Structure 1
Amino acid sequence: MVEVNFGKQHDRPFVLQKNRQLLAVRSHAGTQLAQTLCCESAHAALEGCELLLHVEDADVQIFKLPGHSDASQRKALLRELPDVRFAGSVLVDPITQEPVLYTENIFLKFIDSLKATECMVILQALGLMIKQQVPYAKNAFFVHHPATHGIDICTLTSEWLERDEIEYCHPELLRQGQRRAIHANQWHLKKTTVTYQVEIDASANVEAAHELAQGEGIVIAVIDDAFDIDHPEFSGEGKVVGAKNFDRRNAKGGPRPLNALERHGTAAAGVACANGEDGASGVAPKASLMPLKLTKPLGARAEADAFFWAADQGADVISCSWGPAEGHWADPADPRHTQVFPLAASTRLAIEYAATKGRNGKGCVIFFGAGNGNECADNDGYSSHPHVIAVGACNDQNRRSAYSDYGKSLWCCFPSGDQKHPDPKFKPATSIPQTRGIRTTDLSAKFAAATLPAYTDTFSGTSSACPGAAGIAALVLGVNPELDRSAVRQILADCCDKIGHPDDGPRGQYDENGHSHYYGHGRLNALRAVHLALERKTNAG
């Protein structure tokens, strides 16, 4: 067993274990692993192995060894290859057995009272090389210890965390994340008649709010896989601002997709702020879009950098429709439902920086999709962060979508698609969904075989709900930009419609504070949110 602590000295660590049936191989910087493994020695070492995972940006491949295989001999063969940097066992989550990769990067933060010169003296004494002095936290660095390799990095960082001068210290751990999608219809914006003349009255009352606000002057940063920023719905002067690609291997390409598989960010951005000139309107159509491409695994250094960049480049609102892998929403026996996913100290500090230092100290309003596992969002270190607004999904029947996560950390919900549960006894979604999902932007013909402009009617999950809520925050700030993050958060609670159904049971009930485990404070009402923002402006004047 290996212990890693993302918290402070006396916080509880989490445990990982070695899986000796898995083999990780990584090449030296500047070399291509695929080419390295094309020789006879590599073929012999990997004979009979199954490729399970390829983390492209770190250029790491994970293989499953055949049963009763001699792992030590295979590792020895690979380590003899001149371009192989690492070949060894893989750490896994003990509950789900999912791989957890570690790099040789270390996140280290000294206590705030230490002087810069004192930090440098300790770093030198420990034999550490600075890779980055991070801008979102005082006395914080990503460092490298040239003399330490492999799993020893976990032991070393645990020892250093015992020092009184060190506040956080852990290896950079990488896990595969998951986008929050499930798989002319803008029923989420207004009362709408859809297919077969079915009238849907389950919107967030956005169209009515557009009479007063459309997000003018507000910047929504969307952190996601890629963005078709040439799409007509993102055109116009000042529409796209501060774009950046945090993927080291293809940074020159900007935030655009590499292929048709990278389409999630385009859809999410459209829900938030598509112009609405051709085929789909965003919740805040006149807000600017800051597209930040991030396809690295969870916990990577670039993840924290993206939050700092958003705040530093002027984002008012940040939308994140991704998070840890989840259990299957319709399978209550899936062990991932109970998995606790801690947040790396680097990411946690970067989120706190954006939430407290962004918008000239008023704080960026940060949203995460609560998740699509039909499980407790409180176990998710991202959506349960106290500076984050966790958004659930509700359906066209004014009820929780069957997959939507719940819990104390859920703040509100926004209309999205739904799935019919295979078990008729399942109560939160007994009605058959009348819509296929949310209409929003999709990749244009440049990236996929489609006719311009490109749209989809099937975007769904809390992936869609999250940017919808972010769009409402943009409407609120558009009419009252002096509001701080906490005030916006409270307005989003106070504006909600208390939806639900008696079949929801205790989790669907609202407590004395107006909060429900299934719905948070309820479904967002954009018009009411704008009115509340204007009232605060009048009272402040």
Structure 2
Amino acid sequence: MEEVIFGKKNSRRFLLEKNRQLLVVRSQAGRKLDETLRCEKARQALANSELVLHIEDADVQLFKLPDNSDIPQCKALLRELPDVRFAGSALVDPHTQEPVFYTENIFLKFVDRLAPTECLVILDELGLTIKQQVPYATNAFFVHHAHCRGTEVCSFTLQLLERQDVDYCHPEILRPGQRRAIHDNQWHLKKTTVTYQAQVDASANVEAAHVLAQGEGIVIAIIDDAFDIDHPEFAGTGKIIGAKNFDRLNARQGPRPKNPLERHGTAAAGVACANGEAGASGVAPRASLMPLKLTKPLGARAEADAFFWAADQGADIISCSWGPPEGHWADPTDARHSQAFPLAASTRLAIEYAATKGRQGKGCVIFFGAGNGNESVDNDGYASHPMVIAVGACNDQNRRSAYSDYGKALWCCFPSGDQPHPDPKFKPATSIPQTRGIRTTDLSGRFADPINAAYTELFSGTSSACPGAAGVAALVLGVNPALDREQVRHLLADCCDKISHADDGPLGQYDQNGHSHYYGHGRLNALRAVQLALERGKTAD
């Protein structure tokens, strides 16, 4: 059993155990693992094994070996290959048995009182080589120890964390993430009859807000899998700002998708700020888009770099429709429902940098989709961070979407698609969705769907709710850019409509502070949000 502490030395310890049937193989730097494993020795070692996961950017592959495998022999054969850097048992979460990858990179932050030269002297004494001095925290580095191999990195970082001059120290732990979508029209923007004859009055009142504001002058950074920045809804001078690809292997292609599976970011960006000139309007159609492509696993140092980049390049708002793996929303026995997911210190510090230093000190407004597991958002270290606004989903019948996460950290909700709920307490009239999902942008060009080219009506989940809420914040800042992050946060709470349903039970009720575990402070009302922003601007004058 290995232990990792993502916080300070007295913080919770997270346990990881080896799974002997799961084999991790990593290539030497600059070598392609696919090519390395084409030889006869590799085929012999991996005979009848199943490729479970391939993290392309890090060139790591995870295999499940057959039950009758000679596991030591498999490892020995692979280790004989000159281009294989590591071949060993995978670490897994003991609660869910999900794989957890680790690199030999270490995140290390010294206490703030040390001078930069003192940090360098200590690093040299410890035999640590600097891979990156991070810009979002004082005295913080990603480092490497030449003689610390495999799982030794876990115990080594715990030893370093005991030092009085160290604030944080943990291995770079990578976990597969999950986009905040459910399955594969603009009813979320206004009261309307959609094309298949369903009358829907469950919007965030966005069309009415557009009379007063459309997000002019505001930059929304969206961190996601890829972006079709050539889409007509993202055309125009100044629409795309600060685009960057944080995937090392494909950085030159920018944030564009490299295959038709990378379509999630395009849909999320459309919900936030599509121009609305051809087939779909975003909540803030005149806001600029900062598309930041990030497909690395959760916890990678590039994740923190993306938040720093967004703040440093002038983003006002940051929207993230992704997070930890979740339990199945309709299966209450799924063990992942109760899994606590920690936030790497590097990512935490980068989020806090953006939230306090962004916008010339007024702070970037940061949104995360609450999640689609029908479970507590409070276990999600990303969405529950106190400087983050966690957004839930509500459906076309003015109640919580069946999959949407809930809890103390949930701040608000925004209209999105839904799923029929199997629980009998959900009456048919209020449990069967009347709409297919949210209409937004989809891939155009060579990856376009031949039937529904460039648009989709099937976007859903808190993946759609999150950029919708980010768009409302853009409307607010567009009319009152003097508001700081906390003022925007509280304004969004004040503007909400208190939706609920009789079947919700105690979790759907609002407390004396106007908060509900199911709805946060309620469903965002964009018109009311803009009106409040204008009123508070006059008061400040």
Shorter-chain TM band: over 0.9
In structure 2, the gaps of 5 or more residues are none
Contact 2:448–2:454, Cα closer than 8 Å, also in 1: no
Give the CA RMSD over aligned residues.
1.1
In structure 2, how many angstroms separate the alpha carbons of the residues matched to 1:120 and 1:362? Answer: 32
Which SS does the other structure have where 2:272 is aligned? helix
Contact 2:255–2:293, Cα closer than 8 Å, also in 1: yes
In structure 2, how many angstroms separate the alpha carbons of the residues matched to 1:330 and 1:451? Answer: 31
Which SS does the other structure have where 1:222 is aligned? strand
Contact 1:224–1:294, Cα closer than 8 Å, also in 2: yes
Contact 2:106–2:172, Cα closer than 8 Å, also in 1: yes
Q: Indicate the residue corresponding to 2:244 in structure 1.
A: 244
Q: 1:446 Cα deviation (Å)?
A: 2.2
Q: Indicate the residue corresponding to 2:229 in structure 1.
A: 229
The aligned runs of 1:448-467 (5 Å cut-off) are 448-450=448-450, 454-467=454-467
- AA of the residue aligned to 1:477: L
In structure 1, the gaps of 5 or more residues are none
Q: Which moved more, 1:348-357 or 1:192-201?
A: 192-201
Contact 2:443–2:449, Cα closer than 8 Å, also in 1: no
Q: Indicate the residue corresponding to 1:202 in structure 2.
A: 202
Q: 1:423 Cα deviation (Å)?
A: 3.3
Q: Indicate the residue corresponding to 1:406 in structure 2.
A: 406
Contact 1:393–1:465, Cα closer than 8 Å, also in 2: yes
Contact 1:278–1:453, Cα closer than 8 Å, also in 2: no
Contact 1:400–1:428, Cα closer than 8 Å, also in 2: no
Which SS does the other structure have where 1:10 is aligned? coil
Q: 1:44 Cα deviation (Å)?
A: 1.0
The aligned runs of 1:136-535 (5 Å cut-off) are 136-183=136-183, 185-426=185-426, 430-450=430-450, 454-535=454-535
Q: Indicate the residue corresponding to 2:129 in structure 1.
A: 129
Contact 1:131–1:143, Cα closer than 8 Å, also in 2: yes
Contact 1:92–1:99, Cα closer than 8 Å, also in 2: yes
Contact 2:218–2:288, Cα closer than 8 Å, also in 1: yes
Deviations 1:106-137 (A, max 9, x none): 00000000110110010000000000000000
In structure 1, how many angstroms separate the alpha carbons of the residues matched to 2:449 and 2:382? Answer: 35
Contact 2:204–2:524, Cα closer than 8 Å, also in 1: yes
Which SS does the other structure have where 1:169 is aligned? strand
Contact 1:57–1:247, Cα closer than 8 Å, also in 2: yes
In structure 2, how many angstroms separate the alpha carbons of the residues matched to 1:122 and 1:59? Answer: 32
Q: Indicate the residue corresponding to 2:90 in structure 1.
A: 90
Q: 1:453 Cα deviation (Å)?
A: 5.8
Which SS does the other structure have where 2:531 is aligned? helix
Q: Indicate the residue corresponding to 1:41 in structure 2.
A: 41
TM-score (norm 2): 0.99
Q: 1:452 Cα deviation (Å)?
A: 8.6
- AA of the residue aligned to 1:245: N
Deviations 1:288-319 (A, max 9, x none): 00000000000000000000000000000000
Q: 1:68 Cα deviation (Å)?
A: 3.4
In structure 1, how many angstroms separate the alpha carbons of the residues matched to 2:18 and 2:316? Answer: 42
In structure 2, how many angstroms separate the alpha carbons of the residues matched to 1:511 and 1:423? Answer: 25
Which SS does the other structure have where 1:187 is aligned? helix
Q: Which moved more, 1:520-529 or 1:189-198?
A: 189-198
In structure 2, how many angstroms separate the alpha carbons of the residues matched to 1:35 and 1:313? Answer: 38
Which SS does the other structure have where 2:238 is aligned? coil
Q: 1:48 Cα deviation (Å)?
A: 2.0
Contact 1:402–1:429, Cα closer than 8 Å, also in 2: no
Q: 1:425 Cα deviation (Å)?
A: 3.1
Q: Indicate the residue corresponding to 1:60 in structure 2.
A: 60
- AA of the residue aligned to 2:236: G
In structure 1, how many angstroms separate the alpha carbons of the residues matched to 2:428 and 2:140? Answer: 45
In structure 1, how many angstroms separate the alpha carbons of the residues matched to 2:477 and 2:456? Answer: 28
In structure 2, how many angstroms separate the alpha carbons of the residues matched to 1:44 and 1:452? Answer: 45
Which SS does the other structure have where 2:159 is aligned? helix
Which SS does the other structure have where 1:423 is aligned? coil
Contact 2:496–2:522, Cα closer than 8 Å, also in 1: yes
In structure 1, how many angstroms separate the alpha carbons of the residues matched to 2:70 and 2:433? Answer: 52
- Change in CA separation of 1:41 and 1:199 when aligned onto 2, cut-off 3 Å: same
Q: 1:285 Cα deviation (Å)?
A: 0.1
In structure 2, how many angstroms separate the alpha carbons of the residues matched to 1:243 and 1:431? Answer: 40
In structure 2, how many angstroms separate the alpha carbons of the residues matched to 1:427 and 1:8? Answer: 47
In structure 2, how many angstroms separate the alpha carbons of the residues matched to 1:171 and 1:228? Answer: 34
- AA of the residue aligned to 2:98: E
The aligned runs of 1:109-128 (5 Å cut-off) are 109-128=109-128
Deviations 1:230-284 (A, max 9, x none): 0000000000000000000000000000011000000000000000000000000
In structure 1, how many angstroms separate the alpha carbons of the residues matched to 2:190 and 2:372? Answer: 24
Which SS does the other structure have where 1:208 is aligned? helix
- AA of the residue aligned to 2:86: F
- AA of the residue aligned to 1:448: A
- Change in CA separation of 1:428 and 1:255 when aligned onto 2, cut-off 3 Å: farther
Contact 1:420–1:429, Cα closer than 8 Å, also in 2: no
* Sequence identity percentage: 79
In structure 2, how many angstroms separate the alpha carbons of the residues matched to 1:308 and 1:428? Answer: 46
In structure 1, how many angstroms separate the alpha carbons of the residues matched to 2:84 and 2:336? Answer: 33
TM-score (norm 1): 0.99
Deviations 1:509-534 (A, max 9, x none): 00000000000000000000001101
In structure 2, how many angstroms separate the alpha carbons of the residues matched to 1:473 and 1:444? Answer: 27
In structure 1, how many angstroms separate the alpha carbons of the residues matched to 2:452 and 2:37? Answer: 41
Work out the number of aligned pairs and report it: 540
Q: 1:451 Cα deviation (Å)?
A: 6.9
- AA of the residue aligned to 1:326: E
